[in-house]
Amino acid sequence: MIIANEKDKSLQSIAEKIVSKERISEEDGLLLFEKGSLSFVGALANQVRERMHGDVTYFNRNFHIEPTNVCVFACKFCSYSRLYAHREEGWELTEERMLDIVKSYDGQPVTEVHIVGGVHPKMNLHFFADLLRKIKQHRPDLHIKGFTAVELDYMFRKAKMSVEEGMKYLHEAGLDSLPGGGAEIFHPEIRQQICDDKVDAEGWLHIHETAHRLGMHTNATMLYGHIEKYYHRVDHMERLRKLQDNTGGFNTFIPLKFRNGDNEMSHVKESSVIEDMRMYAIARLYMDNFPHLKAYWPMLGRQNAQLTLSFGVNDIDGTIDDSTKIYSMAGSEEQSPAMSTEQLVTLIKQVKRRPVERGTLYNVIQEYN
Ligand code: V47
Ligand code: SF4
């Protein structure tokens, strides 16, 4: 048994807490990062995962629309964006083009469109509200998960609307839920160094809290494995865990591995696979009030995503259909990320987990026994 094998008393007491479903503290979280071996945190995380979800591993059928990669911000880790002054090097999709993308999935059993992109100074709140209305007119059952808190913060401020007014407006236009992007690392010691001009931690959390209060669900990410220290990761997870205690509106936590291809942080070494698996495991142990932990396969690669299923992860996102460029431009091995449902099902079954196709809100669409 894990507890008996662990000689370190402090680690042993953390294991006891986890086995007895007691919450671990910030100090415990830090200790796990500093001292917890892969096998120790992995075995515990797998216990928690199996307690919560058994063998079930969720995926969905989705596609992305990336309206533009032109962005007013200049995050140092971003390989994808182009400044407005260089917009001829990037792309700006018209409303018509985006609706054509939606129509190209007519008759296909996708359940979700994920809309996310750069923060374009000329694509405003009304432009996006109109797009949402037209998508819903065309395909009312398609769940629209869209816009990071960074995009929303900029849109609302430009439209001179409060977060609550802006969120209600977009929700009424058809926005169903928010993705988890833009969170990066909340702690100002790091945020100021990697993305100092976009919405800060308090602003990000306020936007998600407002969405939750309006009955919308959202996700949360953390960009790890660059210049942050372990205590920054714990601080990030603690802020999210606190908000979740208050609202219960988060569905999924998604640790995002920093990729160093072609950006201003290319000199920073990427984390090892062992460190990635430890990150997922500790996230499962710490985020006790987040129902789901997701590994985003276009960024990790298929094999590593498969491995995470033994380290606390119970969701590997979706089919994606080669419709995102964020990670291929940052150096991921997945240059054209697309998997058929059969491929996703096989990937999950190969490691003896049970695939379940879900909707965005984890409603079961199909079980594969
Ligand atoms: O916020 C940008 C990240 C995020 C890099 O909610 C990078 O279901 C690694 O949030 N290396 C956007 N990461 C994507 C995102 C997301 C993806 C999939 C599912 C969901 C969901 C959300 O991508 C950004 C940033 O943290 N990112 N550049 C990079 N070089
Ligand atoms: Fe813009 Fe997002 Fe890239 Fe930052 S991460 S530069 S906000 S597209």
Q: pLDDT (tens digit, 9 = 90+) per residue, 131-188?
A: 999 999 999 999 999 999 999 999 999 999 999 999 999 999 999 999 999 999 999 9
Distance from C-alpha of 29 to C-alpha of 32, rounded to nearest angstrom? 5
CA of 71, closest atom in ligand 2: 1
116 Cβ contact partners less than 8 Å away, ≥ 6 residues apart: 64, 66, 146, 147, 148, 151, 179, 181, 326
Q: Is a pLDDT exceeding 70 seen at residue 64?
A: yes
Atom 2 (ligand 1): residue with closest C-alpha? 78
5 HSE (CA, 13 A, CB side): 9
Nearest to 312 by CA among 280, 288, 357, 274: 280
CA of 150, closest atom in ligand 1: 1
Q: What is the pLDDT of residues 332-344, one digit of tens each?
A: 776 666 788 888 9
Q: Is a pLDDT exceeding 80 seen at residue 330?
A: no
Atom 21 (ligand 1): residue with closest C-alpha? 179
Does ligand 1 come within 6 angstroms of the Cβ of 326?
Answer: yes
**What pTM was estimated for this model as a whole?**
0.96
Q: Are 167 and 152 in contact (CB under 8 A)?
A: yes
Confidence of residue 369 (pLDDT cuts 50, 70, 90): confident
CA of 259, closest atom in ligand 1: 11
Q: What is the pLDDT of residues 182-209, one digit of tens each?
A: 999 999 999 999 999 999 999 999 999 9
